[in-house]
């Protein structure tokens, strides 16, 4: 078929790689002596809800499965996730958290009750992946636990006892029960979320009602692990808004400003998904063209304004930025894949999602003085996932590779990059052509990330670097033939990073970034 005919049939964007046009030029200026905030490693957190095949099949296959596993947890998934140095994982929800009763998920596997996951598809849950399995998973991948306690249908006592089960070192009845379940040592719990979307699925509360609950849960659900009393204390995270409004943030932050010794919070959560075109969802995760690519990226860039709005209110009540803004649900949310259970939120993950991920991570890095934690939704088989599985098969997604490329930015110090991003026009949409962040790691290396949003044009970069003497530059770039290129079980290497060539001479870095690409360069003295 000719290009003209394909164009007529509306198939061209999905089938043929875009033509590469003449390069644009961009000048970047980086002064490594101008250190900013720390890019907290917790910004690279994940979210694993009991939803669809996120936990069951995605992580948990059970010890008797023919799929290679360690205590029931998939080995292939653990190996893949270890490479991301996942700093924290939020579990068990999401909306599921406010229907979860933890006692049903402990004890001998065969004796756990079957329950209904009424939030996500009404499926039967045999509760074989419970607290001890989650903690085992956390330990296997070398991460930290972020548990969401049930405020909607639970009680402060239930939450307090869950924390005691997990963290008590003294021989209490609950600590002994944990020991009998194979775990004599107390677990570390890095973060505790107090409810989830309490303005909607978490109980449809008013801000004032939620604040009264927040105080009680914060007061009574405590971490008893002796190793988390003075140092490494568990951080408590309150529910915040999921819309670009500030009434809820006002209520929580005002209460926080007046808090006494008896309760406290360390973070305020916000949820913001990229849903191009809004609800009901219309955007597909596969077989789309450049217009939908542009529409999606335009929509995702709203994250910056969304955060600014919340930060303004937080700054009013907390100018010292003691309370972190925690974006504990974010990512692309598209129409479910045809043929999948719509309640399981299954979607593919393309090069577009890799670019979307880098844009959001860069926004978080620019807000790093207040935004100190974020959790992409969700880790495996759900929404913008790192990993897709189908029985024994596993494939890592373009978003996975972005997270792997960004590992050096974890806990690095933000360094501002001055540049004119330029513009790309697509129908009525105008996008910046370029995005970039830089950071200095503990060993003194400078890291530079450049995202080229332009679907057709490469950009020749000339970066002037001061405040550090750099001699060598090396790095990788992630791109693919089309904006909707994906990795599949049959073709897992369509979107994979490859080495990029860059040169440094007299404090200037030169390289060309390909169209629709994410590039990370290390610059060494
Ligand atoms: O991530 C899917 C759902 O989105 C979560 O359960 C909920 O908190 C949000 O609305």
Mapping DSSP onto H, E and C, the string for 171-190 reads CCHHHHHHHHCCCCCCCCCC
Helix (H) or strand (E) holding 235: strand 235-238
| Ligand 1 proximity of 269 Cβ (cutoff 6 Å) | no
| Ligand 1 proximity of 377 Cβ (cutoff 6 Å) | yes
Helix 351-366 vs helix 398-405: crossing angle, to nearest 10: 30
Asked whether residue 11 carries a pLDDT value surpassing 70, the answer given is no
- Give the pLDDT band of residue 525 (cuts 50, 70, 90): confident
Is the omega angle on the peptide bond into residue 378 within 30 degrees of 0, that is, cis? yes
111 by DSSP, 3-state: which?
helix
| Ligand 1 proximity of 95 Cβ (cutoff 6 Å) | yes
Asked whether residue 12 carries a pLDDT value surpassing 90, the answer given is no
Sign of the C-alpha dihedral, residues 348, 126, 61, 163? positive
Contacts of 356 (CB under 8 A, 6+ apart): 274, 296, 297, 300, 331, 332, 384
**Dist. CA 434 → ligand 1 center (Å):** 31
* Short-list 93, 3, 29, 15, CA closest to 329: 93
pLDDT tens for each residue of 163-191: 999 999 999 999 999 999 999 999 999 99
pLDDT tens for each residue of 238-273: 999 999 999 999 999 999 999 999 999 999 999 999
- Give the pLDDT band of residue 20 (cuts 50, 70, 90): low
What's the confidence (pLDDT) of residue 19?
63
Asked whether residue 237 carries a pLDDT value surpassing 70, the answer given is yes
pLDDT tens for each residue of 398-431: 999 999 999 999 999 999 999 999 999 998 999 9
Catalytic residue among 161, 197, 311, 449: 197
What's the confidence (pLDDT) of residue 198?
98
- Give the pLDDT band of residue 18 (cuts 50, 70, 90): low
Pocket test for ligand 1, best of 52, 95, 328 (most atoms within 8 A of CB): 95
Q: What is the mean pLDDT of the chain?
A: 95
pLDDT tens for each residue of 51-93: 999 999 999 999 999 999 999 999 999 999 999 999 999 999 9
Sign of the C-alpha dihedral, residues 466, 467, 473, 478? negative
| Ligand 1 proximity of 463 Cβ (cutoff 6 Å) | no
Asked whether residue 4 carries a pLDDT value surpassing 50, the answer given is no
| Ligand 1 proximity of 266 Cβ (cutoff 6 Å) | no
| Ligand 1 proximity of 197 Cβ (cutoff 6 Å) | yes
pLDDT tens for each residue of 495-514: 999 999 999 999 999 999 99
Contact 80, 387 (CB under 8 A): yes
Residue 139 structure tokens: 């330990």
**Dist. CA 458 → ligand 1 center (Å):** 37
What's the confidence (pLDDT) of residue 35?
87
Active site residue 449: no
What's the confidence (pLDDT) of residue 122?
97
Residue position matching structure tokens 């943030």: 249
Q: For residues 237 and 264, what is the distance between their CA atoms, to the nearest angstrom?
A: 9
What's the mean pLDDT in 88-101? 98
Contacts of 186 (CB under 8 A, 6+ apart): 166, 167, 168, 169, 175, 178, 224, 225, 226, 227
- Give the pLDDT band of residue 136 (cuts 50, 70, 90): very high
What's the confidence (pLDDT) of residue 17?
60
> How far is the CA of 148 from the CAs of 32, 164, 184, 216, in angstroms?
39, 15, 23, 15
Percent of the chain with pLDDT strictly greater than 90? 95
Active site residue 158: no
Q: For residues 229 and 151, what is the distance between their CA atoms, to the nearest angstrom?
A: 24
pLDDT tens for each residue of 348-375: 999 999 999 999 999 999 999 999 999 9
Contact 400, 84 (CB under 8 A): yes
Catalytic residue among 24, 133, 161, 329: 329
Asked whether residue 332 carries a pLDDT value surpassing 90, the answer given is yes
| Ligand 1 proximity of 329 Cβ (cutoff 6 Å) | yes
Sort strands 267-274 and 145-149 into parallel, antiparallel or unpaired: unpaired
pLDDT tens for each residue of 28-47: 999 999 989 999 999 999 99
**Dist. CA 338 → ligand 1 center (Å):** 20
């Amino acid at each position: 078929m000719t290009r003209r005919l394909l164009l007529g049939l509306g198939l061209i964007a999905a089938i043929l790689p875009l033509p590469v046009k003449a390069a644009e030029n961009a000048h970047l200026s980086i002064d490594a002596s101008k250190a900013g905030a720390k890019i907290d490693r917790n910004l690279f957190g994940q979210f694993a809800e009991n939803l669809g095949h996120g936990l069951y099949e995605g992580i948990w296959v059970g010890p008797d499965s023919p799929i290679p596993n360690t205590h029931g947890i998939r080995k292939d998934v653990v190996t893949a996730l270890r490479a991301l140095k996942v700093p924290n994982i939020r579990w068990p929800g999401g909306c599921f958290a406010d229907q979860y009763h933890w006692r049903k998920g402990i004890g001998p596997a065969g004796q756990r009750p079957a329950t209904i996951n009424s939030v996500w598809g009404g499926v039967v849950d045999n509760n074989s992946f419970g607290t001890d399995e989650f903690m085992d998973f956390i330990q296997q991948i070398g991460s930290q636990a972020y548990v969401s306690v049930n405020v909607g249908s639970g009680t402060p006592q239930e939450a307090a006892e869950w924390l005691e089960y997990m963290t008590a070192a003294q021989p209490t009845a609950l600590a002994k029960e944990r020991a009998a379940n194979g775990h004599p040592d107390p677990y570390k719990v890095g973060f505790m979320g107090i409810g989830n979307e309490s303005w909607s699925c978490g109980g449809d509360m008013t801000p004032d009602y939620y604040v009264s609950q927040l105080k009680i849960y914060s007061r009574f659900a405590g971490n008893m692990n002796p190793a988390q009393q003075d140092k490494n204390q568990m951080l408590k995270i309150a529910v915040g808004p999921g819309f670009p409004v500030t009434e809820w943030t006002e209520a929580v932050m005002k209460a926080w400003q007046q808090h006494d010794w008896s309760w406290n919070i360390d973070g305020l959560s916000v949820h913001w998904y990229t849903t191009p075109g809004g609800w009901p969802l219309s955007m597909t995760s596969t077989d789309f063209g450049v217009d939908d690519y542009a529409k999606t990226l335009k929509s995702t860039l709203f994250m910056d304004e969304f955060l600014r709005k919340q930060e303004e209110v937080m700054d009013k009540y907390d100018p010292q930025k003691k309370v972190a803004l925690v974006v504990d649900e974010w990512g692309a949310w598209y129409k479910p894949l045809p043929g999948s259970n719509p309640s399981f939120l299954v979607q593919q993950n393309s090069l577009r999602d890799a670019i979307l991920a880098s844009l959001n991570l860069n926004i978080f890095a620019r807000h790093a003085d207040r935004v100190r934690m974020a959790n992409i939704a969700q880790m495996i088989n759900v929404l913008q996932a790192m990993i897709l599985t189908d029985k024994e098969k596993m494939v890592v997604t373009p978003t996975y590779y972005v997270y792997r490329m960004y590992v050096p930015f974890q806990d690095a110090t933000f360094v501002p990059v001055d540049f004119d991003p330029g513009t790309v026009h697509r129908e009525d949409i105008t996008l910046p052509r370029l995005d970039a962040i830089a950071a200095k790691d503990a060993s003194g290396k400078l890291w530079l990330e450049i995202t080229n949003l332009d679907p057709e044009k490469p950009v020749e970069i000339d970066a002037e670097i001061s405040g550090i003497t750099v001699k060598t530059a090396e790095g990788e770039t992630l791109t693919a033939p089309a904006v909707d290129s994906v990795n599949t079980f049959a073709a897992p290497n369509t979107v994979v990073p490859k080495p990029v060539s860059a040169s440094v001479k007299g404090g200037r870095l030169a390289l060309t970034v390909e169209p629709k690409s994410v590039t990370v360069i290390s610059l060494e003295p």
